[in-house]
Amino acid sequence: MTPSQTVPSPPKINADGTTAQELYDKCLALAHNLWWSWTPEVSSLFRDLDPVRWRQLDHNPIALMKEFTPDRLDLRAAEMVLYSRINHAYRRLKEYLGSKQTWGSTHAGVLGARPIAYFSAEFGIHESMPIYSGGLGVLSGDHIKSASGLGVPLVAIGLFYSQGYFKQQLDESGYQSEEYIDTRIDNLPMQPAVDEEGQPIMVSMETRSGNLVAKVWKMDVGRVRLYLLDCNVEGNSPEDRQLTSRLYGGDTRTRIRQELVLGVGGVRALRALGITPGAYHLNEGHSAFGPLEVIRGRMHDDGMTFDDALREVAQNTVFTTHTPVPAGHDRFDEALVEEHLGPLRDQLGISYEQLLGLGRVEPQNNEETFCMTVLGLKLSRRANAVSQLHGHVTRRMWAHLWPWRVEEEIPIGHITNGVHVQSWLAEQMRHLYDRYFPSDWADRMGAAEVWQNIHKVDPGELWETHNALKTLLISFVRRRISRQCRRRGESEEAVEHARNLLDPGVLTIGFGRRFATYKRAHLLFADLDRTAELLNHPEHPVQVIFAGKAHPKDEPGKELIRKIANLRHDPRFAGRLAFIEDYDINVCRHLIQGVDVWLNNPRRPLEASGTSGQKVILNGGLNCSILDGWWAEAHDGSNGFAIGHGTSHVSDEITDARDGQYLYETLENQVVPLFYRRDVDGLPREWIRMMMNSIAGLAWRFSSDRMVMDYTRTCYVPAAGGLSCEMP
């Protein structure tokens, strides 16, 4: 030690009176509430501390802060004049957490100290928190962010996956390989949840084959607390310690055990935490065992019979179903159900047949496997699908549960999904809105009138802003593709080619989503010659950016990726196609902020809602989509493009062939001409008008603020015992 270090120096105090340690602690406090992730002033603060490391560390502020000591932070803050920004951000966080005047305080008052308990198997909040795989998770993340912003009392329950979902890489032949990486827990904004004595909370689930235990983590997402159950603890067998390590990994036994932990374990965790929910929201069937545990509690505490308790608990329960694809509904064999629910069934005092009957459309039908969606529908008084069209499909799909009712009377409504505006809106676009929208617009993003102000924006300015974002997207694509080439050991020439891929002046189409076959990523390649012509038109060229993962066991999906990724070797498509590996929230954000057109061509009516196209709207991109999911109720002829007329043939082959034709016709006759039709100033006036119509009419309708307000009014408040409001 040098002598100077042995003498404690007085704490350094900077210009505005904060010590280096205080400054550091403020940054840590900001990093420990995921509020930072949708608050651009705060995320840009972390970025500015060290832009290179910020990117390398997957935009993880806790990992970033570990690379600083208080003194180094102080030095950097001085260099960058960050003091006032840090202090301001910290003050804003405190104000946000402390504010009492919210939409929820007026509209969800009945909930009071009894929050909604929102259960979901995945939460997509930010790329640095890898506990999501795709749409369902991102929806849950957006749901709780909006609940936070609106001040709706809500706690969320999920699972902690220590390896998350896989990282995708493509080999030379375009084949997907999957890599699972251990997440460093100390880099995540999580703490063990503790009871009143400060002891870590553990929950235990009995099964016929032994006990399962889980610890409970807590995480702050703005004003919402998210609890995550984790089986990697002492007391579990080595195999069970891996139970919650991966999303949607393993076999059906893994799946039912994960769902036991999520549903039953989640309800037990809430009890251990001293939280009494006003109502339960099961986001998808994965958590549908939960209400059985709530019923057990009511029987035990209040001496109710099973039937009475079921009626009351169902009254408190809201169930959302998300898929019209049959394989999307979890089904379990009798033996697995008895192994895992047997001990709980004993306590409920119901028979083997009675329990199985709760998961069957026809309770006595031994041929029927136990279905979590059926269980969810039977244990909830309010159920909903996630778009208007999906509502029809779902009512028809489950009509036999209510054989005496006509379709319109099937008690399943719909609340169309939406996206969290602050999370998906580009900074440049927000600055534009800030100048033309009312000053409090950020607090009223779910209100229609706010967005009408887009018509006041100068068309040239909107176009310029959009083009700046498109340029950013293209440099992102070039960076990622050249990195991919380098990793595969490709020639210097190939890497160089990747560095110049795509052209900012060209109409740019984006396609990013899971590679499930019904989403038909290959539809654009039904006729390769026609596609080549479209892409290489001498005056009106087109370029396309793809991204997406296939489920590890979905070989046909992987084959689709291989086909599309390999087209880059076809000289007809050189420079006009890009496939970005490892689709995640970060890749999605870049894509939806920079594309001209977002392409969505699923086989109708299999896309329950879809949300990625809603993110595009906010940033001025246009949707070009089959009339399925949310787009079937959004498209009005002036706010984007419809592929086909919203019909499907019973034969998939015929449907695909027709839709392929429609896709080419829509692109060739509508999208491309409109994009390249310029006025004397070089502006595509009609295109810009369409962008404005899309923003004005759709941004608020398909925001998660509107969605959470709908859930609150039509489901949460009545389920918690307040006055009822009808769902559409």
Ligand X SMILES: *Cc1c(COP(=O)(O)O)cnc(C)c1O
Q: Which residues lie near ligand X (CB under 6 A)?
A: 134-135, 138, 513, 583-585, 588, 610-612
CB of 172 to ligand X, least distance (A): 26
Report in angstroms how near the CB of residue 123 gets to ligand X at its nearest: 12
Name residue 486's amino acid: R
3-class SS letters over 340-385: HHHHHHHHHCCCHHHHHHHCCCCCCCCCCCEEHHHHHHHCCCEEEE
Give the residue carrying structure tokens 């069209």. 389
Q: Min. distance of Cβ 142 from ligand X in angstroms?
A: 8
| Minimum CB–partner distance for residue 647 and ligand X (Å) | 21
Least Å distance, CB 606 to ligand X, is: 12
Owner of token pair 């012509």: 533
Of 86 and 585, nearer to ligand X (C-beta) is 585
Cα atoms found within 13 Å of the Cα of residue 502, Cβ hemisphere only: 28
Q: Which is nearer to ligand X, 90 or 583 (CB)?
A: 583
Can you give the C-alpha Rg of the chain in angstroms? 26
CA dihedral 436, 39, 117, 143 (to 10 degrees): 50
Residue number, 277 or 610, with CB nearest to ligand X:
610
Residue 167 pairs in a beta bridge with 179
Structure tokens at 617: 């709207």
Query: Structure tokens of 177?
Result: 């390989």
**Under 8 Å CB-to-CB from 183, ≥6 apart: which residues?**
130, 162, 163, 164
CA 403 to chain centre: 35
How far, CA to CA in Å, does 652 sit from each of 329, 520, 603, 604?
21, 11, 8, 10
> Which residues make beta-bridge pairs with 600?
625
Shortest reach from residue 259's CB to ligand X, in Å: 22
Neighbours of 492 (CB within 10 A): 9
Joined together, the tokens standing for residue 500 give 């110049």
Contact 245, 166 (CB under 8 A): no
Which C-beta is closer to ligand X: that of 508 or that of 611? 611
Choice between 498 and 591, CB closer to ligand X = 591
C-alpha to C-alpha distance for 281 and 116, rounded to whole angstroms: 7
The CB-of-666 to ligand X minimum distance in angstroms stands at 19
Classify residue 629 as left (phi > 0), alpha (psi -120 to 50) or beta: left
Report how far residue 454's alpha carbon sits from residue 351's, in angstroms, rounded to the nearest whole number.
61
CB distance 258 to 242 below 8 Å: no
The span from the CA of 49 to the CA of 65, in Å, is: 9
The encoded tokens of residue 407 equal 């379709």
Name the residue nearer to ligand X (CB basis): 609 or 639: 609
Tokens 């617009």: give the residue: 441
Distance separating alpha carbons of residues 719 and 314, to the nearest angstrom: 9
CB of 599 to ligand X, least distance (A): 11
Give the 3-state secondary structure of residue 642. strand
Q: Would you say 190 and 33 are in contact if contact means Cβ atoms under 8 Å apart? A: no
**Rounded least distance, CB 472 to ligand X, Å:** 17
Toward ligand X, which CB reaches closer, 266 or 602? Answer: 602
Strand 317-320 to 224-230 pairing: unpaired
Pick 383 or 592: Cβ nearer ligand X: 592
E strand or H helix at 84: helix 83-98
**Which lies closer to ligand X via its Cβ, residue 134 or residue 697?**
134
Residue 645 identity: H
Pick 160 or 598: Cβ nearer ligand X: 598
- 553 burial type by CB count under 10 A (0-12 exposed, 13-18 middle, 19+ buried): exposed
Instruction: Tell the smallest beta-carbon distance from residue 488 to ligand X (Å).
Output: 23
Supply the minimum distance, in Å, between the C-beta of residue 589 and ligand X: 7
**Is 323 or 508 the residue whose CB approaches ligand X more closely?**
323
The tokens for 131 are 């506990």
Does residue 509 sit in helix, strand or coil? strand
Q: Kindly list the distances between the CA atom of residue 173 and the CA atoms of 6, 169, 368, 481, 557, in Å, as whole numbers in the listed order.
A: 61, 11, 42, 15, 15
Q: How far is the CB of 665 from ligand X (least distance, A)?
A: 23
When the beta carbons of 125 and 288 are compared against ligand X, the nearer one is 125
Whole-angstrom Cα distance, residue 299 to residue 440? Answer: 48
Q: What token pair was written down for 112?
A: 């009071």
Nearer to ligand X, 130 or 660 (CB): 130
User: Which is closer to ligand X, CB of 531 or CB of 609?
Assistant: 609
Residue with smaller CB distance to ligand X, 277 or 510: 510
To ligand X, the closest distance from the beta carbon of 598 in angstroms equals 9
Contacts of residue 114, Cβ cutoff 8 Å, sequence gap at least 6: 153, 276, 277, 278, 720
Q: Which two structure tokens, joined as six digits, stand for 463?
A: 């176009």
Pairwise CA distance, residues 580 & 583, whole Å: 7
Nearer to ligand X, 145 or 215 (CB): 145
Least distance (Å) between residue 610 CB and ligand X? 4
**104 versus 324: smaller Cβ distance to ligand X:** 324
Nearest approach in angstroms of CB 438 to ligand X is 28
Q: How many Cβ atoms are within 10 Å of 6's Cβ, its own excluded?
A: 7
Q: Which of 420, 24, 28 is nearest to 189 (CA)?
A: 28
Write down the least CB distance from residue 146 to ligand X, Å: 14
* Of 134 and 359, CB closest to ligand X: 134
